Structure 1
Amino acid sequence: MGVPKFYRWISERYPNISRITIDRHIPEFDNFYLDMNGIIHTCSHTDDENNDTNASEEDIFRNIFHYIDFLYRMIKPRKVFFMAIDGVAPRAKMNQQRARRFRAGRDRMQKLNTLAEKSGASLNELNRFDTNAITPGTEFMTNLNEQLKYFINVKITTDPLWEGVEIYLSGHLTPGEGEHKIMDFIRFTHSQPNYNVNTRHCLYGLDADLIILGLVTHELHFALLREEVTHGVQKTTKIPLPEEINWHLLHLNLLRDYINLEFSSMKVGK
């Protein structure tokens, strides 16, 4: 789960830790990780009042594949590419999710009924995507998992950039949230006897708690990739294309140095 406004606060407090990416100035990374649920939500609906679109399942899958391919070509990982989709959450969060999704479903039906009355169409004719389908175990997630496997096989066999890279997909049937599955993978690889401590990691995700999770890995080189968040801008009903977005890299090694410098006076002497 995210921490509201934490990313904005910390990037304003330490402005040098985050930079807009420029293709020729992107650092080289060994491992690239995707917290897939952010991509799924971005490619399936907008943040307008209706919070849904009339995009078909095929259109959503196509948007997701394009998004993944764009991010992969931007970072160009040298060794590992890991994609993690949220599985079944811990019980405490499951209860919170259930209440939130029942409320979202009720609000969605009210908006659809209002829209149907205005347009004179039936609910079936509106054909709106239900965002509650982005839940482990649904038919939508099962279809997405199979399509992602097919997409990966196509890219491995046809795209030279994907050659020689270890590809991992942790689907919705594997328990745990995406970011924690990624952290488990990082800790596991770090425990291996032949692990290179200078491995450079890049993680894409929208949740601000990834900043804390990245710091506690104690990796020397760790960066977070995320879309630019604009405040006070009018919302759009169009699903954004990744080419139209300003991308930011937040360098956690710089953040660690800033924190160490700011609180150095509080260290207890030996």
Structure 2
Amino acid sequence: MGVEGLQVFIKKRYNLYKPLPNNFHTDHIYIDVNNYLHKTITKKPNIQNVEINALKRLKHFLNEIIYSTKIRHTIFFSVDGPGPRSKMTTQRERRLKNLNLHKLLYYINKNRDEETGENDINLLKHDYDYLEGLELNVGFSTLNFTPGTSFMGLLKSFFIYYTKNKLSFAKNVFISAADRMGEGEWKIFQHINNSNYNLNDIITIASNDSDMILFCLLSKYNNIQILNKESNQVLYVNQLREAIYKESGINDRQAIIDFVLLSFLMGTDHLPKVSSFKMQNGWNEYCKLKKPLYNQETKLFNYENLSQVI
């Protein structure tokens, strides 16, 4: 999910997404697996061996990324593990918002009939007839991508096999599966921050999650690029940093920190959106104000400056 609207804002404001070059190369590549898992599920109902087919499609996505990139050192696969409590709240709200209400009512009514032994289903006949025309994939749900399910155990075994049999050329391969705490993007940057890479090493993040942009902006490394394989585009994070410095007129890390802070106000997987806040308006006001919103030394917000921006 990430920050809703952030990628659109960056594309319109700075136009920095570039076509994927033919000679695309990197020292280290980090793959946010959950981004691709959700694309592996077909909408065809009653499909046989749905779990195996999902893994086959995932393998296809991974091959497209890895074999189109010249990787010098590291491959890191990151799968969402148990997340923090703050995400559970926003995730529950999102799932209820996107819930297929007809499907839920169908199963509630069906279970009620079975439990009570009620034979007269004429009262519910209209509901059942209506639902028979809908595509209800009852065999597999994206809820299987939740840590602790049998599918996530199967996924870990798949990555072990895939690494041993397909990635013998790689110097270092890491698998952070769903049995390790933390969201995929958090585990990626925990590993990057704890690694002793050269500051000028090229680091590629394969993900469509806008959270990644904010993590990359805050990173100490100079050459981070975000690969969107679906659109075959690359965002070079250092170019985005330079654009933020230039527009804000603040040529240091403070501008990056304040940009990230304002982005969070749009709402994240952990924090609700600040009502009526728009990034475009907030950033315009910040560039006029040219005063810090967050004090890096005291770890405190400047509420007076923040109130002028939002």
Q: Normalised by the shorter chain, which TM-score bucket?
A: 0.7 to 0.9
Listed as ranges, the matches of 1:32-181 within 5 Å are 32-45=29-42, 54-55=46-47, 56-101=50-95, 107=101, 109-110=103-104, 117=129, 127-156=138-167, 162-181=168-187
Measure, in 1, the Cα distance between the counterparts of 2:91 and 2:45.
22
Preserved contact between residue 88 and residue 175 of structure 1 (Cα < 8 Å): yes
**Could you say what secondary structure the match of 1:197 adopts?**
coil
Unmatched 5+ stretches in structure 1: 47-51, 157-161, 228-244
Q: 1:20 to 1:98 in 2, by over 3 A?
A: same
The residue that corresponds to 2:9 in the other structure is: 9
CA–CA distance in structure 2, aligned partners of residues 258 and 211 of structure 1: 14
CA displacement 1:174-219 (0-9 Å, x = unmatched) = 0000000000000000xx3xx3111100001121111110010121
**8 Å contact from structure 2 (residues 81, 178) kept in 1:** yes
- 1:165: how far off? 2.2
**For the structure 1 residues 214 and 45, does the alpha-carbon distance in structure 2 shift closer, same or farther, using more than 3 Å as the test?**
farther
Q: Which amino acid aligns with 2:247?
A: E
Could you tell me how far apart the structure 2 residues matched to 1:53 and 1:170 are?
A: 31
Residue 213 of structure 1: aligned partner: 215
Q: Any idea what SS the aligned residue of 2:178 has?
A: coil
Contact 2:227 2:235 in 1 (8 A): yes
| Residues matched between the structures, number | 233
| 8 Å Cα contact 2:71/2:170 also seen in 1 | no
- Select the structure with the greater relative contact order (CA < 8 A; seq sep ≥ 6): 1
Shift of 1:81: 0.4
Change (3 A) 1:108 1:65: farther
1:175-190 pair list within 5 angstroms: 175-189=181-195
- Corresponding residue number in structure 2 for 1:234: none
Equivalent residue, structure 2, for 1:196 = 198
CA distance in 2, matches of 1:74, 1:111: 46
CA distance in 2, matches of 1:115, 1:135: 30
Distance verdict in 2 for CA 1:54–1:166, change over 3 Å: farther
1:213-232 correspondence runs (5 A): 213-227=215-229
- The normalised TM-score by structure 2 is 0.67
Do the aligned partners of residues 146 and 115 (structure 1) sit closer, same or farther apart at CA in structure 2, a change above 3 Å counting? Answer: farther
Q: d(CA) in 1 for partners of 2:142 and 2:127?
A: 17
Q: Which residue of 2 aligns with 1:259?
A: 244
Give the conservation status (yes or no) of the 8 Å contact 1:44–1:53. no
TM (normalized to structure 1)?
A: 0.76
